[in-house]
Amino acid sequence: MSGKGAPERATIAATDLSVVVLAAEWHETISDGLIAGSVRALDAAGARYRVVRVPGSFELPVAAKTALDAGADAVVALGVIIRGGTPHFEYVSSAATDGLTRVALDTGKPVGFGVLTLDDEQQGLDRAGLPDSHEDKGFEAADAALRTALLLRDLRA
Ligand code: DLZ
């Protein structure tokens, strides 16, 4: 997937939303960039949030479910999974992706998807919202979570 075609978006106001940012501990530089991008989006919208580290991307779904069941309006799930020489990449990527999708559907609450599945570290540095990056996937994931939370509220009204 390329990042081309992403829409231009105006700033939103989400001062009454409470968000949990979950970030896997693997690949720290990229992961820190993703967290900073998410925080930029949440601060810009005025949302309340906390950032919680989880051991790895495999643990993101259960942490997301727990945070949403405990009352969060939305979760932003951040992870960095880099392909290695074994099939582990596919298992962790699928578990994170399928698990987070299931959590969103089971809870009826948004999960911003900021899990990068990469062939190498450079692809992550290019997408991590760092000074030399050309994409900011952490910001995009948080922005999508907030917009979806507001959209779902509107649909339920
Ligand atoms: C084991 C593992 C490996 C090999 N690679 C990654 C990775 O690139 N990114 C990531 O977020 N987590 C990785 N993990 C850890 C798993 O997600 C998980 O934490 C462990 O298998 C323990 O359940």
Residue extents of the structural domains in the chain: 18-156
Whats the size of the chain, residue-wise?
A: 157
* Residue type present at position 45: A
Confidence of residue 50 (pLDDT cuts 50, 70, 90): very high
Rg for the chain, CA atoms, rounded: 15
Check pocket membership of 93 for ligand 1, CB cut-off 6 A.
no
Mean of all residue pLDDT scores within the chain: 95
pTM for this one? 0.96
d(CA 36, CA 44): 12
pLDDT in tens, 118-142: 999 999 999 999 999 999 999 999 9
Instruction: Dig out the tokens for 93 from the structure.
Output: 């990527």
Ligand 1 centroid–CA 103 distance in Å is: 19
pLDDT digits over 11-43, tens only? 888 899 999 999 999 999 999 999 999 999 999
Do 68 and 92 contact (CB within 8 A), yes or no? Answer: no
Contact in structure between 22 and 60 (CB atoms under 8 Å): yes
For domain 18-156, the CATH superfamily is: Lumazine/riboflavin synthase (3.40.50.960)
What per-residue string of b and e applies to 35-44 under the rule 16 or more CB within 10 Å gives b? bbbbbbbbeb
In ligand 1, which atom is closest to the CA atom of 57?
Answer: 11
In this prediction, residue 84 carries a pLDDT of 85
- What single string gives the DSSP state of each residue in the chain? --STTPPP------TT-EEEEEEESSSHHHHHHHHHHHHHHHHHHT-EEEEEEESSGGGHHHHHHHHHHTT-SEEEEEEEEE--SSTHHHHHHHHHHHHHHHHHHHHTS-EEEEEEEESSHHHHHTTB--TT-S-BHHHHHHHHHHHHHHHHHHHH-
- Band of pLDDT at residue 85, cut at 50, 70 and 90: confident
Q: Is 78's C-beta closer than 6 angstroms to any atom of ligand 1?
A: no
